[in-house]
Amino acid sequence: MQTAARATLLTALQQYFSIPREEAALVLDEFEPSVCRGGDWLFRQGDAADCLYLLARGRMQVWLGQSSGEREERLVAEVNPGETIGEIGMLTGGARSASIRAVRNSLLLKMTSAAFDRLARQRPDLTRHIAGSIAGRLRDRTAGVSHIRRTLKTIALLPLGPMASVEALSQRLHAALEAFGSTCVLTPRSMREAGAPPLPTARHEGLSPAMVDWLAVKEDEYHFVLYVGDPGEVFSDIALHHADLILLVAQASDDPAVRPWERAAFESASAPVARRALVLCHPGASERLEGTDVWLDERRLDFHLHVRGGVADDIDRLARLIAGRAVGLVLGGGAARGFAHLGVYRALHEAGVSVDWLGGASIGAVMAASMATGPEPQVAIERARIAFVAGKPFGDITLPIISFLRGRRMERLIDHHLPGQIEDLPIPFFCVSSNLGNGSVQLHERGSLPRALRASVSLPGIFPPAVVNGQLAVDGGILDNLPVDLMRGRPVGRVVAVDLSSRKDYTVDYDSVPSPWKVLAGRTLPLSKRYRVPSPVSLMLMAMSIGTIGAARAAGARADLLIRPPVGGFSFTDVRVFDRVVEVGYRAAQQALAEARELES
């Protein structure tokens, strides 16, 4: 066994079992070293479960397929160094419940059932540790904890234009990542200068054992390793197959066409399976970007990011995503109560918490889209005041054939203040609507931003339904008023959710609902009794919110930080209390942040 590989295996055992290195060397005898090449399957769902694995180096993906009643396999989790694989199946003696695939060349320790039995007799304390690990994983699954996001260690950067673009970005990214751990940049030149063994001279040649060892030492020595490759060189193939994440880097002004080398690299049988992202670099600091769609149309990407030259937080966002420290903010629906989201945004900003991904439903979608343009909190608040207080979107009452409100004002306000395409937003964003035809949640993360927002806020009976791809769509809050689980699928490390579900009793002082004439008299005649009766619009909003409270609370429990502004005393439609609602959100977020520990680690 190579020196670097043995050292890595000993370290993995030492850390996993929390034992001295001398004991780890003895335990190592019960394991068989195993290598799984990037793209290969370690085992498939349904295979016999006769062993477990400890991942020492690399990264693995967990896929579920046909047995779950699905037509295609789907990625459900990732396995990181220091975690075990397949222990539940081995202990139960059944078949593999999922398929495991290597993202890149991975080094594992394999323990057979027979070896496990021997270890259980000789070292029961170590087998109890394995059992505890299993219990923790089952607990997380029951609680809905996602395992798709973790720190990424090896990053490949390749240019879709001149090498100068990727070299400049790698320097900025190197500096940003140093805040989270030691980082090194590997290029053919830097490797030669560092005394690395010779690189292969042709693509079909494999890496020498000395080079494999040298690269492994670098991965063990540094927290992050950036491979910067030129597509015309052999080193780019090494970079692609050693990466946890592949970043395709381009200037927004470059030709967006797919390069021939992309097709050769990503459409071949030996294509890397690591996640892929596009990084579009822009020279200025504008909030209004354009033309991203042509870059995305012909490429299979997991996500994309914009890095503007005049905005330092853009490169910091990329670093946070890589380091597993990115924050996703999920904003729930609540009509005019949604102004509280602006107060939360202000509190997060003042606390130094940068928001790296935004998602929302209903009015939460509108507020999230506004934040995704990247304004300072006070700017976002003033824009919302102009749009909702002066614009009065809840005031265009119409003949109630389809809805109480025409929705024209809301549509004009969205078109004016939030034009453009979702993919052009400086900060990643998504929102949801509810498909009336098939009863499913419609995810909007590309395409027209006004159209997506129009669908997400189309409260049934209040606003007319929207049309999305020939289907009628209504308010996203009907089916998912707090899309925490969708945010969990994004490459963020922590999720902050803002739940506006009402928890206030609506107590009245009458035995039966008064007639419209009595209500009108109470509002116009001085001596008549005034009745507290919700308006038809408020009543419909209250009724719709009842069915979402339980689901929103359950979703909020799966967030890393849940903020619940006490907005139950405010009307769904009264925009005159704008500043008071914003302040309530601000105070609630301040308190939640003061009590939280999740965003500090």
Max intra-chain CA distance, the chain: 96
Region 85-106 average pLDDT: 86
- Confidence bin at 68 (pLDDT 50/70/90): very low
Radius of gyration of the chain (CA): 27
Higher pLDDT, 372 or 550: 372
Residue-level length of the chain: 601
Angle made by CA atoms 323, 307, 563, in degrees to the nearest 5:
55
| Per-residue confidence (pLDDT) for residue 267, from 0 to 100 | 87
Backbone angles phi, psi at 506, to 5 degrees: -105, 85
Show Cβ contacts of residue 186 under 8 Å, excluding neighbours closer than 6 positions: 218, 225, 226, 227, 228, 239
Decide: 331 and 368 in contact? Cβ < 8 Å: yes
Q: What are the pLDDT digits (tens) for 157-181?
A: 999 999 999 999 999 999 999 999 9
Query: Is it the case that residue 600 has pLDDT exceeding 70?
Result: no
Which amino acid appears at position 538 of this protein? S
Region 335-339 average pLDDT: 90
Decide: 344 and 369 in contact? Cβ < 8 Å: no
DSSP 353: -
In order of 24, 184, 511, the CA distances from 519 in angstroms are 79, 72, 14
Measured over the CA atoms of residue 74, residue 76, residue 78 and residue 82, the dihedral's sign is negative
Within 13 A of 440's CA, how many CA atoms are on the CB side? Answer: 6
Across 146-160, 256-270, 508-522, 554-568, least confident range: 508-522
- Confidence bin at 389 (pLDDT 50/70/90): confident
| Per-residue confidence (pLDDT) for residue 408, from 0 to 100 | 62
- Confidence bin at 404 (pLDDT 50/70/90): very low
Region 210-218 average pLDDT: 88
- Confidence bin at 147 (pLDDT 50/70/90): very low
Region 221-240 average pLDDT: 93
Decide: 380 and 345 in contact? Cβ < 8 Å: yes
| Per-residue confidence (pLDDT) for residue 371, from 0 to 100 | 97
- Confidence bin at 149 (pLDDT 50/70/90): very low
End-to-end Cα, the chain, rounded Å = 37
- Which tokens belong to 160? 């879709």
- Which tokens belong to 80? 């990181």
- Which tokens belong to 135? 């219990």
Across 61-70, 87-96, 282-291, least confident range: 61-70
Region 513-542 average pLDDT: 67
| Per-residue confidence (pLDDT) for residue 481, from 0 to 100 | 92
Distance CA 345, CA 328 (A): 12
- Confidence bin at 536 (pLDDT 50/70/90): low
Q: What is the mean pLDDT of the chain?
A: 85
| Portion of the chain with pLDDT greater than 70, in percent | 85
